[in-house]
Amino acid sequence: MIKEIKFTDKAIKQINNLLSQKDPGSFFRIAIKGGGCSGFQYEFTFDKKLEADDLKHENILIDKTSADLLKGSEVDFVSELIGDQFKISNPQSKSSCGCGVSFSI
């Protein structure tokens, strides 16, 4: 399933850069949580524990429910005037807030 989520070279480079500053064995976790101004929001954290429902791609973890909601998405890392951030282009998103952190399906 995680194969259906694309990571740009810039995203992988930034994830690896961030993980190089963490303890060995750390993972970069992408999750979708309820909340935000549009109903769901993306969450980026670090984790050392692989859960039973996690899907793993190299050093990236995504739980099964979040992976289902991210199916067909592209994860990128962008530098803009408002700052640097991970940006997810999600074809399942019907609308999103102005900052791009929350979305509805």
The DSSP-derived string for 57-100 is ETTEEEEHHHHHHHTT-EEEEEEETTEEEEEEE-TT-SEE-TTS
Q: What does the pLDDT read at residue 34? A: 79
3-state secondary structure of 24: coil
Q: What does the pLDDT read at residue 65? A: 92
Q: What domains lie within the chain, and their CATH numbers? A: 6-89 (2.60.300.12)
- The one-digit pLDDT tens for each residue of the chain (105 residues) are 577 999 999 999 999 999 999 999 999 999 998 766 657 788 999 999 999 999 998 899 999 999 999 999 999 999 887 788 898 888 877 655 555 555 556
